[in-house]
Amino acid sequence: MINMKRTHNCGEVGVKDIDHEIYLLGWVHRRRDHGGLIFLDLRDRSGIVQVVVSSQDAELFATAEKLRIEYVVQVSGKAVKRSPETINQQIKTGEIEIKCSNLEILNTSKTPPIEIADATTEPDEMVRLRYRYLDLRKDKMRENLVFRHKLIRAMANYLDQKGFIEIETPFLTKSTPEGARDYLVPSRVNPGKFYALPQSPQLFKQLLMIAGMEKYFQVARCFRDEDLRSDRQPEFTQLDLEMSFVTRDDVIEVIEGTLKHTLAELEKDIDKYRGKRIPLIELPFPRLTWDEAMNRFGSDKPDLRFGLELVDISDLVRDTECMIFARTVAAGGAVKCINVKEGENKLSRAELEKLEETAKKLGAKGLAWLVLTSNGPKSPIAKFFKEEELELIYTRTKCETGDVLLFVADYFDIACNVLGEVRLELGKKMQLIDYNSFHFTWVIDFPLFEYSKTEKRWVSRHHPFTSPQGNLDEIEEKFLKEPGRIKAQAYDLVLNGTEIGGGSIRIHRADIQHKIFKIIGIGEEEINRRFGFLIEALEYGAPPHGGVALGLDRLVMMLAGMDSIRDVIAFPKTQSALCPLTGAPDVVDPQQLKDIHIRTAI
Ligand code: ASP
């Protein structure tokens, strides 16, 4: 009988099939013995169906008795209606069952270390990753991978319709500076030389524009040898795209269209994950300039699911007797404030102290507070302020009786960052966040450069191929005058306070690209060695172009409401970049090392 005959998938047998002969293939999900009857839940990728084996057929029954969970079987028999009291509403196929007439064991299974049929228990993650092929048999994981597949298909279909073509770019290549360490691959045939695995297809997609491809996309694997945080992986996937003859708004429009289309296609899946109807996203997404995002939310990836905005009161406290405030402003810093509405009742003294700890950990000197009680202000700093000064602060911050004001006075960046983090902590603590809503935002007009304290020089904030705003020919003069004020034609896409993508209009002129490399301190020799091919290509009629990349793993994770990026990647690595399943990375034979001209120092 082992002919792999299959008329149905398990999860798709239904009332319509009653009295038909059904052939199924799958795994024994559960097995229950009820005296003369054995009930099997048979599972394949589509779901589960109940199979009943009766002892009336002794040989068949003997085979069924041998079954253990996760055995692989072929089953055939008639679909019959279940009696009303045995109908199972929990599963799609719950109104019928298969009366087994043939049963073949295709393979046995050891007792799995992961309980596949039990959605409530989750073993240690090391066990899950060690036996990933079993972990992926669980409903949740299978659903996540199917969801990911649908998302990628929907995006690709949309881009295809819009005239984009998918082109693969090499893995064995030269380093592209996306700001991380490269994974290196030694070349056997070129002793002493190394390929770098791409941190992104950045330079190749620009070369494709120079090659006249006009609209490119790729579901691209990227490799970055970084210390891993919980939502990072050494290899991850981007939806990468690039377009010629475009402005920022054209690129933004394509991404918005892609997401709108994709989320509409996945509407049912998303609602199922969330257990409720999630409204479709609306276009266009709001846009905040980088200055606005920092000023109002203290972050370049603002979480717009709740308010609690930062208010700048620097101008109001310039001349107060509250020295910490006045001196900060005099020194060019900022005083920022958050009004916690009804904070008097909502924030305990201990919670205030915890917030202050957070602020200090992030580098602030402190977190000043003021409670506006019905008897006036209560605060260690209130005595330094005149009544009129306080009134102005209350008006600016819309502070009413019962509210609590929190202040940070520091360098602009620190004041914003610290209060931005305090805002997020308050948002969570005060349950202001709707975890089932999607707030997409563009952050635009980023600074082109930022000062690296460790390297003691100005570096590109995105990558050095990002075009400055304004007259390109003035870039050197502007850099000499106010490097921090030059804005980039760069944009980031933020979802619920997480950066999920970013891109820019690129530099398409060789002379300007050369100048930018020099400005950020790359010497002539290094420019030629690392980027000579790009500069040269730009000299052959490079069209104006720009693009963007979305982090697919993170997007899938957030849409599906998963906590870990590893739950949406088939074979992820651990936090220490290990694969517990295969044992990678591993030592290799001495001969292999010899072949690639490598001697290890370990
Ligand atoms: N290559 C960039 C990145 O990986 C994205 C882009 O500029 O298109 O972040």
Pocket test for ligand 1, best of 240, 466, 507, 550 (most atoms within 8 A of CB): 240
> What spacing in Å lies between the alpha carbon of 502 and ligand 1's midpoint?
6
Determine the pLDDT at residue 112. 97
Pocket test for ligand 1, best of 238, 467, 494 (most atoms within 8 A of CB): 238
Contact 224, 180 (CB under 8 A): yes
pLDDT (mean) for 33-56:
96
316 vs 175: which has the higher pLDDT: 316
> What spacing in Å lies between the alpha carbon of 575 and ligand 1's midpoint?
24
> What spacing in Å lies between the alpha carbon of 584 and ligand 1's midpoint?
28
348 vs 169: which has the higher pLDDT: 169
* Largest interatomic CA distance in the chain: 96
Q: What is the pLDDT of residues 234-269, one digit of tens each?
A: 999 999 999 999 999 999 999 999 999 999 999 999
> What spacing in Å lies between the alpha carbon of 503 and ligand 1's midpoint?
5
Tokens 């009366």 correspond to what residue? 99
Strand partners, 98: 51, 79
Determine the pLDDT at residue 37. 96
Pocket test for ligand 1, best of 207, 463, 534 (most atoms within 8 A of CB): 463
- CA atoms of 447 and 465, how far apart (whole Å): 14
Q: What is the pLDDT of residues 190-245, one digit of tens each?
A: 999 999 999 999 999 999 999 999 999 999 999 999 887 778 899 999 999 999 99
From the CA of 465, give the closest atom in ligand 1: 7
> What spacing in Å lies between the alpha carbon of 539 and ligand 1's midpoint?
22
From the CA of 241, give the closest atom in ligand 1: 8
> What spacing in Å lies between the alpha carbon of 297 and ligand 1's midpoint?
24
Does residue 296 register a pLDDT over 80? yes
Mean pLDDT computed over every residue of the chain: 95
Q: What is the pLDDT of residues 390-412, one digit of tens each?
A: 999 999 999 999 999 999 999 99
pLDDT (mean) for 457-464:
94
pLDDT (mean) for 341-350:
92
Cα–Cα distance list, 353 to 202, 340, 363, 378, 432 (Å): 46, 15, 15, 15, 20
Q: What is the pLDDT of residues 535-573, one digit of tens each?
A: 999 999 999 999 999 999 999 999 999 999 999 999 999
Determine the pLDDT at residue 587. 94
CA angle, corner 374, sides to 367 and 387, nearest 5?
65
Q: Ligand 1, atom 4: nearest CA belongs to which residue?
A: 200
Residue 285's pLDDT band (cuts 50, 70, 90): very high
Does residue 445 register a pLDDT over 70? yes
Strand partners, 528: none
pLDDT (mean) for 280-308:
96
pLDDT (mean) for 358-378:
94
Q: Which two tokens stand for residue 156?
A: 């690709």
Span between the terminal Cα atoms of the chain, in Å: 56
Q: Ligand 1, atom 1: nearest CA belongs to which residue?
A: 202
> What spacing in Å lies between the alpha carbon of 348 and ligand 1's midpoint?
44
Burial of 222 (0-12, 13-18, 19+ CB in 10 A): buried
Cα–Cα distance list, 350 to 26, 62, 220, 346, 431 (Å): 56, 67, 48, 11, 18
> What spacing in Å lies between the alpha carbon of 60 and ligand 1's midpoint?
60
> What spacing in Å lies between the alpha carbon of 477 and ligand 1's midpoint?
27
Q: Ligand 1, atom 6: nearest CA belongs to which residue?
A: 503
Residues with C-beta less than 6 Å from any ligand 1 atom: 178, 200, 202, 502-504, 547-549
pTM of the model as a whole:
0.95
Q: Ligand 1, atom 7: nearest CA belongs to which residue?
A: 503
Determine the pLDDT at residue 499. 97
Determine the pLDDT at residue 217. 98
Residues of the chain above pLDDT 70, percent: 100
Three-state DSSP class for residue 217: strand
pLDDT (mean) for 276-295:
96
Residue 177's pLDDT band (cuts 50, 70, 90): confident
Determine the pLDDT at residue 1. 57
Q: What are phi and psi of 14, to 5 degrees?
A: -150, -170
pLDDT (mean) for 340-348:
94
From the CA of 238, give the closest atom in ligand 1: 4
Residue 157's pLDDT band (cuts 50, 70, 90): very high
> What spacing in Å lies between the alpha carbon of 548 and ligand 1's midpoint?
6
